[in-house]
């Protein structure tokens, strides 16, 4: 039995991931942004071991979320939580651009503050190939605002984060996963991929003893390895992103 923490696991792909892991007999801790959502999660995944609460749009709540788990070293953590790109540019209580904070900074902070598990899975998107990482303007303060472009940027950052962690910690299996265009609240009813297919790769990576599931530094979709977009392989860009996240969050990855 593996112990797995899944962020954003009240609905959508995250909930499906948690349900599949519980059905296989694993210990799963859910994550919800508030108490009301936590009750939804418990009802949806009744076999879960518990629910950790924290709004990833808040640095203080993200730090408290990490602390609330009591220093437990999970076998795997699935960084599933994320928001799409739509509407006007919004900032959080930390005066940070919302998409960047939830999609990029939050998984960075949790990686920095929680004991490193044996396996880390970061959800990205095929739209990462359309993203641009400008280390001088990560939050699109100067570039023309586009919610879709900000989302693409954030997913490229997630891919960079997964690869940077894989490079920095050779004893950790770190993988970026594109779940595909999935029929969920974010993906919409016209999406071609069902939730189970969208979650299957994360479940496999989190608990399988298949040697292929234990190879770090890869980018995958639907159990297949994808070619990594060239910017994501740039080590200087990876290190620059880590440094920027450390400065913004005052949290540093462990040595």
Which residues are tagged catalytic? 151, 155
Within 10 A of 35 (CB to CB), how many other CB atoms are there? 9
- Strands 27-32 and 173-177, by their bridges, are unpaired
Residues 71-108: b if buried by 16+ CB within 10 A, e if exposed: eeebbbbbbbbbbbbeeeeeebebebbbbbbbbbbbbb
End-to-end CA distance of the chain: 29
**DSSP class of residue 175?**
E
Question: Residue 68: phi, psi to the nearest 5?
Answer: -65, -20
**In the block, which residue shows the tokens 């990560």?**
138
Residue entry with tokens 């989302």: 151
């Amino acid at each position: 039995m593996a112990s797995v923490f899944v962020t954003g696991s009240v609905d959508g792909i995250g909930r499906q991931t948690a349900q599949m892991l519980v059905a296989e007999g694993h210990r799963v801790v859910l994550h919800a942004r508030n108490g009301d959502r936590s009750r939804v999660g418990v009802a949806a995944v009744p076999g879960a071991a518990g629910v950790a609460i924290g709004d990833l749009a808040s640095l203080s709540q993200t730090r408290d979320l990490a602390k609330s788990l009591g220093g437990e070293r999970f076998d795997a953590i699935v960084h599933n939580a994320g928001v799409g790109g739509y509407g006007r540019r919004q900032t959080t209580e930390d005066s940070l651009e919302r998409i960047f904070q939830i999609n990029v900074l939050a998984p960075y902070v949790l990686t920095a503050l929680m004991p490193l598990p044996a396996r880390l899975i970061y959800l990205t998107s095929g739209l990462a190939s359309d993203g641009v990482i400008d280390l001088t303007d990560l939050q699109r303060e100067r570039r023309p605002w586009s919610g879709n472009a900000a989302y693409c940027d954030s997913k490229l950052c997630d891919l960079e984060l997964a690869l940077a962690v894989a490079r920095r910690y050779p004893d950790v299996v770190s993988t970026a996963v594109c779940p595909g265009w999935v029929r969920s609240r974010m993906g919409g009813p016209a999406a071609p991929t069902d939730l189970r297919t969208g979650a299957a790769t994360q479940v496999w990576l989190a608990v399988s003893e298949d040697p292929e599931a234990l190879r770090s530094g890869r980018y995958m979709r639907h159990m297949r390895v994808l070619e990594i977009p060239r910017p994501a392989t740039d080590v200087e860009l990876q290190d620059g992103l880590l440094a920027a996240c450390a400065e913004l969050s005052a949290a540093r990855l462990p040595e």
